[in-house]
């Protein structure tokens, strides 16, 4: 009877350890994304305050997804934030594009996930982008809104992650 009880306790310990190990390993997902975020004083972006973000590219065999991280409040005055984005590739090539980043829907409701005092959106601007040289990938972002001050912008960032 004692041996049977001892074996049962050992089996329970091994079973508990196995369950712990499975949960631990399944929770380990590799997140290789990198981001840089600019925080705005008083949640206001000035018209000629250019944002600059630099990312070191070390792997040329990977493709990348590029997203804008936008955190806004209900003080944002328009339906969309209009920006000009210049991407400087490590090769020296420049890619320039204007983006209209939706902040509110047609009814004026805020888009994104509601957080503590702001709304957060991840907006895809490029998928599966292949970068052919190592070096620094630079972004320059210009606020193209018509007024000098754009209220309601808490943070603006760029997220770079390996494509899946």
Tell me the per-residue pLDDT of 123-164, one tens digit each, with 9 for 90 and over. 999 999 998 899 999 999 999 999 999 999 999 999 999 988
Residue of 68, 45, 66, 70 lying closest to 120 (CA atoms) = 70
Kindly give the pairing relationship between strand 80-88 and strand 113-114. unpaired
Query: Is residue 88 predicted with pLDDT exceeding 60?
Result: yes
Helix (H) or strand (E) holding 24: helix 2-26
Q: CATH assignment of 31-162, given 1.20.1050.10, 3.40.50.1970, 3.30.565.10, 2.60.120.380?
A: 2.60.120.380
Domain spans of the chain?
Answer: 1-30, 31-162
**pLDDT at 36 > cutoff 70:** yes
DSSP character at residue 104: B
pLDDT of residue 60: 83
């Amino acid at each position: 009877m004692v041996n049977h009880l001892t074996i049962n306790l050992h089996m329970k310990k091994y079973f508990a350890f196995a369950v712990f190990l499975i949960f631990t390993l399944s929770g380990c997902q590799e997140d290789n994304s990198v981001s840089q975020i600019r925080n705005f004083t008083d949640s206001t972006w000035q018209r000629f305050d250019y944002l600059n973000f630099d990312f070191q590219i070390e792997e040329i065999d990977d493709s990348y997804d590029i997203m804008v991280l936008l955190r806004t409040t209900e003080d944002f005055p328009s339906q969309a934030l209009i920006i000009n984005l210049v991407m400087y590739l490590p090769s020296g090539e420049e890619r320039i594009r204007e983006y209209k980043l939706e902040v509110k829907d047609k009814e004026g409701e805020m888009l994104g996930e509601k957080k503590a005092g702001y709304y957060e959106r991840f907006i895809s601007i490029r998928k599966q982008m292949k970068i052919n040289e190592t070096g620094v990938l630079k972004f320059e972002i210009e606020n193209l809104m018509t007024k000098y001050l754009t209220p309601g912008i808490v943070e603006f960032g760029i997220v770079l992650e390996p494509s899946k």
